[in-house]
Copies of this chain bind each other. A is one copy, B any other.
Amino acid sequence: MEKIRVAQFGCGPIGCSIVRLAATRPNIDIVGAIDLVNAGRDLGEVANINRKLGVSISPDPDAVLSQTKPDIVLHATGSSLPVIYPQLEKVIKAGINIVSTCEELTYPYNKQPELATAIDKLAREHQVTVLGTGVNPGFLMDTWPLFMTAVCQEVKQIRAVRIQDASPRRIPFQKKIGAGKTIQEFDDLVKAGTLKHVGLPESIAMIAAGLGWKLDDIAETIEPVVAGTEVKSSHITVKPGQVAGVKQVGHGLKDGKELITLEFQAYIGAEKSYDTVYIDGIPNMEVTITGGTPGDIATAAIVINSIPRVIDAPPGLVTMKDLPVVSAPGFSA
């Protein structure tokens, strides 16, 4: 079996979770790692694997790409497409395929059509394929709802809901969603832009494209989930009237009607976690992932599971709805 040569671009928490999974796959050879932080350290050590990978983290993308000649780069450096575009450009010009966790890359045609066109054109020129994916955006609120419509004769409205109890999550996540803050502090976090989940407009645009809807508007609202009674996690206590977490809703509108609704809630004290897709159509559908989908595990999974599909895809910018079914490998032990 010829191994797939992979380089990791971005070795933060998400990048490291991707590396940890990649290191378990017998068909993957990790050959390079790019990050400004931890330069010179072994990637296995930084990613908390119990062995060295023999890959030294380098701050120089050009050097890594030209010296290691990977088949594909796994990219996880940021959410903003304009910010990361120069990084993608370097990789594409080196003739290397990309799977990126950049949320705005999952379906960039609506919000950033010029960048989408530029990436597609450059990728075709250099005969490589570029994909943005992740658990959300990339799966739960776009590809999965669209996939379920396969058995519908028509769709009138579509709604996806992701409810997460934040209590068992990492402390930084609980803080990020504003748990334990006052409403004023929450509003300040929203204004500072640090609290926002990125990707709802991209998911709405992907669903609309799949269903053939030309929307008039895509809007977003973000508000605190305020505790009615005291709720607590192991580290944070939220008093009544304080913020337990966040509720963010994306709205896809046409002729004054809301055709697509994506609702994301993460807060301490949620009765249960789940992901549900509701399709108002023929037939109506209600599909639920009981207990929800653990985000960090799932994002690393879908990035790694996408690799063979991206390598086999025709050159250009692709999105999850354009790829054949991405699936996991069966455990072989």
Contact = CB atoms under 8 A, between A and B. Distances in A.
Interface string A142-174: 011011011111111000000000000000000
B301 A259 contact: no
A320 interface: yes
A63 interface: no
Interface in A271-295: 281-283, 285-291, 293-294
A290 B293 contact: no
- The A contact surface, by secondary structure, is mixed
A311 interface: no
Contact of A287 (B290, B294, B331): B290
A323 interface: yes
Contacts of A290: 286-288
Interface in A1-23: 21
A326 interface: yes
B287 A325 contact: no
A253 B86 CA distance: 49
A288 B300 CA distance: 24
Number of copies: 2
Contacts of A323: 324-325
Given A286-B290, A297-B283, A328 B150 contact: yes
A213 B326 CA distance: 15
A212 B293 contact: no
A282 B304 CA distance: 14
A168 B153 CA distance: 20
A248 B146 CA distance: 30
A211 interface: yes
Given A286-B289, A289-B287, A291-B286, A328 B297 contact: no
Interface of A: 21, 24, 135, 139, 143-144, 146-147, 149-156, 208, 210-213, 259, 281-283, 285-291, 293-294, 297-298, 300-302, 304-306, 320-332
17 contacts: A143-B325, A149-B328, A151-B302, A152-B298, A152-B305, A153-B328, A155-B328, A155-B330, A156-B330, A210-B327, A211-B327, A212-B330, A213-B330, A286-B291, A322-B324, A323-B324, A323-B325
Given A139-B150, A143-B325, A153-B297, 7 more contacts: A150-B302, A152-B305, A153-B328, A211-B327, A283-B298, A286-B291, A323-B325
